[in-house]
Structure 1
Amino acid sequence: MAAAQPGGNLGRHRVTAVRYYAGARLWGDIGPVAVDWTLVHQYGNFGTRRIAAWQAFAAQTLRIGTDKSAPRIGVHADYGSGGGGYTQGTLRNAYAPYGNNVYFSYGLFLTATNLIAVAPNVSFQPAKGVRASLEYQFAWRDDARDAVYRANYTPYVGTERVAGTAVAQLARAQIVYAITPRLSLTTRAEYLRAQEVLTRAGYRDSAFLATWVSFRF
C-alpha cells in the first residue's frame, strides 16, 4: 500500500512524501484467550529523505469464566516509531493515513507517532444489556528529540525542546447500554494526567466526556 503524506504534519518540514506499507496481522481466539497482533513497516521517501518507520499493536484478553459474557482482563501494548520531525537524515516518524485514534485516546490527545503505550484493561457486564470497560494507559515517547503528536499528526508545540520520555497517563471508561437490539446509549470518559514531557512544555491535565445515542436501521 502507498499513500501520499502532507509533510506539514511532521515537525517543521513541509514536503510531499510517498510512503509504502508492508505488514502482517494475526488475530483470533484460542480458548478463553483472544489476540490481535499487527506489525507494519513503513518505507519510502519524504522529499529527498528516506523513510524507515515501524508500528506494532498487540492486544490480548483473557476471559474469566466459560460464558461468552464473562468478564475479560487484558492489556494492549502499542508502538509507533519517532524521530526526524525536527532533525535531518532518515525520517522514522510513523504515519497511518487510516485508523481509529480513539484506540489511543477518547479525546484524540495522542496518536501512534513517536509513541509507546501500555494499557491494562478489564471489560464486564454489570447488568443485562450493559457492557462496561475500564482502562489505565501509560504513554511515553520513542524519541526524546522529537515532539509528541496529536491524533491529527500535529505536534504539541515545544515538546521537541524539552527532556524526558514520560508523556501522560490516561484513565478511561466506557459504558454501552443496549436499550433495544437497534438502539444503544454510549458514554465515554477519560482523564489525561500530563507527565514530564507535556508539563515541561507548558501543558496541563485534560478531561473528556461524551454521550451519544445510536440507532441502527
Structure 2
Amino acid sequence: MDDQTTGFPANDQTTSQSARCLASPSTRSHQGAWGIFNRGDGSAAGFGPVKMYGTEPWAEDWSALRDPCNRKDPLDALKHIALNDSGAIWLSFSGETRLRNWFDSRPDFGAYRNNDSGRFTIRNLYGADLHLGSHVRLFGQIVNGDAAGWDGFGYGPTYRKGIDLQQAFVEFTGRAWGAQNGFIFGRQEFLDAPAYMLSNRQTPNLPISWDGFRAYSIWPRIRVDAFDFVQTNDTHLGPQDFKDTENYDNRLYGVDVTLAPPDFKAFGGKGWSFLDLFYIGYKLSGHPAAVSTITATAAGSTTRNNFGVRWHGMAGPVEFSFGGIYQGGVFHYADSEQTRNVNAFAINTSLAYRFHCTSWRPSLGIQTDAYSGGGANRKTGSLGTYIEPFGPNTNYIDTTTYLTGSNLVGVAPFFDFSPLSIMKLELKYPFYWRENTNDAVYSYFLSGRYEFPRSLRGGFIGMAPQASMTLQIGRHLTWAQYVARFMTSRAVDRAGGSSSTYYQSNFIFRF
C-alpha cells in the first residue's frame, strides 16, 4: 500500500525522507514574517538588520528548522529544539563572542594622552529564546566583558562586566485589524531608529539595553511602533554579577511610522523605498546632559524632542537615503532655576551607484551629514547644539570615534567592492568642519567638548582617509578590520590637537 501523502511505499522511510528533503527549499535567510519590510537588510521592520544572523538574535526566525531538511549546519541543532510532540513549544539558543583590539597613536587628537595606546576587549552574549506556542515567547540573554592592553585608557564599567542580564522580556503576538501585532515588555535592546541616530552601542564593549515596553503593528505597507523605556543602569563599579538595575535619569520614548510607497521604475531597474516618520524623545541628566560653556561644561538635565523624517531605498542601481531631524526641548541648569530652550537639527544623506554588471560589483557614493551647533558658549538664549547621546553607529560618522554628531559637518566620498564572495573592501575619505565656529568640537569618547590648550579658530577640523575589510570565514566567523589616519587641520594643530593613526580589528564568532 502506498502512502497517500508522499506517494512512496510506506515502509521505505529512508527513501521517502531523502526525496522530501530534495524537494524542500533551503532556508538561507532567517527574517521574520514582515513581508515587504524585509527588503534591503531587513531593518525597516524595526528590529535591526537581519540576514543569516541579525544584530538582535530574537529578531531572527528559525521556525523553518523544525523540518530537519532545512538544517544545513551542525549548529542548526541549537537553533530549533522541539520541547513537545507537536513542536509548538520550542527553544532556540544564540551566542556571540567578540575579540576586539585597537591601536591609537594619539588618542582623541592627543587630548587624552600623547602616547601610543593598544587596547583589547572581549565580550560574550549568550541567549535562549523560548516559544510557547505561536503567540508567546520568552527571551533571555546574559553578558560579560573584560578589557586589557598596554597604555590603555578609558576603561569603565561598560568595558569590564561580570555576568549580568543583558536582555529579559516576554513578547505577545497575534493578528488583529489586518496586522501582525506584538507587545514586548522587559529588558531589551532597541534599534527602531536610523543608524545615524541610535545603535546598540558597539564601541564601549557592552551593548546598551532598555527597560520598559514597545508595541508594534505591521500591515502589508504600514508599520507602527510605540515605545517607552528607561536605560539599564550598567555603570556600577566593579565586575559584580547581576547588579544591573534601572537608570530612571535617562529615558527613551516615542512613536515611529514606516510607510512603504508603491514600487516604481528608475534608471532601467526596479525601485522601492520606505518613508519613516518618527518622534523620539530623550530625557537625560548627569554627564550626557551637560552643555558646553566658554571654558568647560555646565551640568544640568535636558529633554530633547526629535521630530524626524527619512526616505530611503533603491532606485535600480542607485541606493539612497535622505533624512532630517528637528531637535527641540529644554535644558535645566543644575545650580539654578534657569532654563534654556533647544533649537537644533541634523541632516543626513547618502547616495551610491552600484555597478551590477561589473566584476566585484563596486559601489561609488557620497555621504553628507550636518549636525547643528551654536549657543553653547552663552548662558542665555537658545541652545543650538544637536546631541545624539545613545551610541550612534560610530562607523557611520567617524571610524576613529574621535568625533560625534554635534556641531559637525561631514562630507565623505566612498567606494566599496567585493573581490571575493567572502570579502568586502571599503575606502572612505571624509572631510570635517564645525557647523558653527562659535561652538566647540565634540568627542564621542569624551561624551563632551574637546578642551584644547589654546583657542580654536576656523571651521575646518580635518580629514580622515580610511579603509575597512570584512572577511566572512564560513558561516559563524567574521573578521572585520578598520584603519584610518585622522589628519587634523592647522587650526586644530595650533590649538594643541594632533593627528592620529587608528587601527581596529574585530574577530567575531556567532551562532
Shift of 1:97: 2.5
What is the TM-score of this pair, normalised by structure 2?
A: 0.41
Match of 1:82 among 373, 381, 401: 373
- Which residue of structure 2 aligns with residue 10 of structure 1? 292
2:363 maps to amino acid: R
Q: Tell me what 1:175 maps to.
A: 469
SS at match of 1:133: strand
- Kept after mapping to 1: 8 A contact 2:452/2:497: no
Name the residue aligned to 2:502: 208
Question: 2:351 pairs with 47, 60, 64, which one?
Answer: 60
Contact 1:19/1:45, CA 8 A, preserved across alignment = yes
Contact 1:147 1:160 in 2 (8 A): no
Q: Quote the residue 2:80 is aligned against.
A: none
> Which letter maps to 1:145?
N
Query: Cα 1:44–1:68, aligned 2, differ >3 Å: closer, same or farther?
Result: farther
Matched, 1:39 2:324: yes
Which amino acid letter does the alignment assign opposite residue 10 of structure 1? S
Question: Where does 1:85-164 land on structure 2 (aligned, <5 Å)?
Answer: 85-88=376-379, 89-98=381-390, 99-152=392-445, 153-158=447-452, 161-164=455-458
CA separation in 1, counterparts of 2:316 and 2:343? Answer: 37
Aligned to 2:404, the other structure's residue is in SS state coil
Q: What one-letter code is carried by the residue in structure 1 that aligns with 2:440?
A: A
What is the count of residue pairs matched by the alignment?
217
- Aligned equivalents of 1:184 and 1:67: distance in 2? 26
Question: In structure 2, how many angstroms separate the alpha carbons of the residues matched to 1:68 and 1:207?
Answer: 32
How many angstroms apart in 2 are the aligned matches of 1:145 and 1:71?
40
Return the match for 1:19 from 285, 300, 304. Answer: 304
Farther off after superposition, 4-13 or 81-90: 4-13
Partner deviation per Cα, 1:10-48 (whole Å, 9 max, x = no partner) = 342211111101011111000000012211000011121
Query: Does the Cα contact within 8 Å between 2:305 and 2:328 map onto a contact in 1?
Result: yes
- Aligned partners of 1:79 and 1:117: how far apart in 2? 6
Seen in structure 2, the aligned counterparts of structure 1 residues 159 and 86 have a Cα distance that, compared at 3 Å, is farther
Q: What's the CA shift for 1:52?
A: 0.3
Cα distance change of structure 1 residues 182 and 28 upon mapping to structure 2, 3 Å threshold: same
Give the structure-1-normalised TM-score: 0.94
**CA offset at residue 67 of structure 1?**
6.8
How far 1:127 moved relative to its partner?
2.4
Alpha-carbon separation, structure 2, partners of 1:9 and 1:208? 28
Q: Which has the higher strand share?
A: 1
Match of 2:493 in 1: 199
Q: Give the SS at the match of 1:161.
A: coil
Q: Secondary structure at the match of 1:200?
A: helix
2:341 maps to which residue? 50
CA shift, 1:200, in A, is 2.2
Is 63-72 or 141-150 further displaced after alignment? 63-72
Partner SS state of residue 429, structure 2: strand
Mapped partners of 1:183, 1:112: distance in 2: 31
Name the CA shift for 1:160/1:15 in 2 (closer, same or farther; >3 Å).
farther
Question: Aligned to 1:173, what secondary structure does the other structure show?
Answer: strand
Does the CA contact (< 8 Å) of 1:191 and 1:205 recur in 2? Answer: yes
- Aligned 8 A contact 2:467 2:484 in 1: yes
CA RMSD of aligned residues (A): 1.8
Conserved 8 A contact 2:323-2:347: yes
1:98-144 CA distance string (max 9 Å, x none): 32122122220111100000000000012231100000010000111
> Between the two proteins, what is the percent identity of the paired residues?
26
* Higher mean C-alpha deviation, range 124-133 or range 94-103: 94-103
Q: CA deviation at 1:156?
A: 1.1
What residue is the counterpart of 2:40 in the other structure? none
Higher relative contact order (CA 8 A, sep 6+): 1
Contact 2:304 2:330 in 1 (8 A): yes
